[in-house]
Amino acid sequence: MDRSYLDFMRLYAMHRAGAFFVTRAKENMDARRVYSFPVDRASGTICDQRVMLNGFYSAENYPDHLRRIRFNDPETGKTRVFLTNNTALPVLTVAALYKSLWQVELFFKWIKQHLRIKRFLATSENAVRSKVWCAIATYVLIAIVKNELKLDASPYTCLQILSVSIFEKTEISCAIQPSLHRTDQPYFGNQLNLFDI
C-alpha cells in the first residue's frame, strides 16, 4: 500500500490476521534497529533490518518487530525504504511487489476514465462487484462491435453515441458513422406520421 495510508494500528490488525503487507516508510519514522541481515549490495539492497518503533503511540499500535528494507532501484536510481511484516520474501521480491502497486493504480485510473462509473447505488461488496462487472462487460461488448464493424471511433465515443440513441431503430454502424451508411428517406415536409415506426 502507499505510504500515505500508513497506519500502524491497521497494519498490526493485518499482521494478527495472518496477512502480510508491503508499504513505504515515511521519512520521519522513528524506529530503532534490532538486527541487521547481510545483504548483496550489487542487487541494489542497502540494508535489510528488523526494527522496533520508538514513538509512544506507534509502539503501542504495532508492538512487534517490522522488517525495514532500504533499496536503491537500479532503473530509476531512487532509494526507497520499505516496511513489511514478511520475513521470508527476498528483498527483490518485496521491491517488485511495491513496484506493482503502480499497475493497480493505473488499472483504477482506467476504470474511472473508461467505464464511466460515477457512483454506486449500494455499497455492499456484491453491489460494487456487480456494477463493475456490468460496466466491464458493456465496455468489452462495445470493443467487440467496434472491432467487427471496423469503426474509427473510440470505444468511449461509441458508448456516448449509443447512450443517447439506445431506443432508436437504427443500425449500430449507422448510428456511430452516419456519413458512411446514410440512406435517403423520402421527404414529407412538416407532415407527421403517427404510425410510421
* pLDDT of the chain, 197 residues: tens digit per residue: 777 778 899 999 999 999 999 999 888 889 999 999 988 888 888 999 999 999 888 899 999 999 999 999 888 888 999 999 998 999 999 988 888 888 888 888 888 777 777 788 888 889 888 988 988 898 888 888 888 888 887 777 777 777 777 777 777 667 666 554 445 555 555 666 666 55
Neighbours of 98 (CB within 10 A): 22
SS3 category, 125: helix
List, in sequence order, every residue forming a beta bridge with 126; answer none if it has no partner.
none
Contact between residue 162 and residue 170 where contact means Cβ atoms under 8 Å apart: no
Neighbours of 85 (CB within 10 A): 19
Q: According to the model, what pLDDT value does residue 17 have?
A: 93
Measured between alpha carbons, how far is residue 122 from residues 111, 112, 160 in Å?
A: 18, 17, 24
The cell for 153 is 471511433
Q: According to the model, what pLDDT value does residue 51 have?
A: 94
Contact between residue 40 and residue 30 where contact means Cβ atoms under 8 Å apart: no
Q: What are phi and psi of 111, to 5 degrees?
A: -60, -45
| pTM for this model (two decimals) | 0.60
Q: According to the model, what pLDDT value does residue 170 have?
A: 72
Element (H, E) at 46: strand 45-53
Gap between the terminal Cα atoms of the chain = 56
Q: According to the model, what pLDDT value does residue 181 have?
A: 45
Contact between residue 145 and residue 137 where contact means Cβ atoms under 8 Å apart: no
Q: According to the model, what pLDDT value does residue 146 have?
A: 83
Residue type, 196: D
Q: According to the model, what pLDDT value does residue 35 have?
A: 92
Closest listed residue to residue 12, CA positions, set 67, 61, 84, 69: 61
Contact between residue 96 and residue 69 where contact means Cβ atoms under 8 Å apart: no
